[in-house]
Amino acid sequence: MRLRIFVEGIVQGVGYRAYAKRVADSYGLSGWVRNLPDGRVEVLVEGDDELIGYFLKDLLKGPPAARVDKLEVIKEQPDEPLYGFDIRY
């Protein structure tokens, strides 16, 4: 499964991207995370359905300094496989 996720709230400048990478790596998921100019964080993630479900729950929680107000989740069709999980700038 591949999902594109937009995270809203206090999610920039609080270690959210590093948190997302750490959690994705712990589940063996692939993809990337980046800040958007409008204050949201965008995540593209690919992997096992069950593990992505756990990942989504962790994204809702976020690191201690973050406050997640909303996740917008869009299911996508994978075109090329993703390898590893990166922070994009």
Q: How many other CB atoms are found less than 10 A from the CB of residue 43?
A: 26
Residues designated catalytic: 17, 35
pTM as predicted: 0.96
**Tens digit of each residue's pLDDT, the chain (89 residues):** 999 999 999 999 999 999 999 999 999 999 999 999 999 999 999 999 999 999 999 999 999 999 999 999 999 999 898 999 999 99
What is the structure's pLDDT at 65? 97
What is the structure's pLDDT at 66? 98
CATH fold of the domain at 2-88: Alpha-Beta Plaits (3.30.70)
User: Given strand 85-88, what is the order of strands in its sheet?
Assistant: 67-76, 2-10, 41-46, 30-35, 85-88
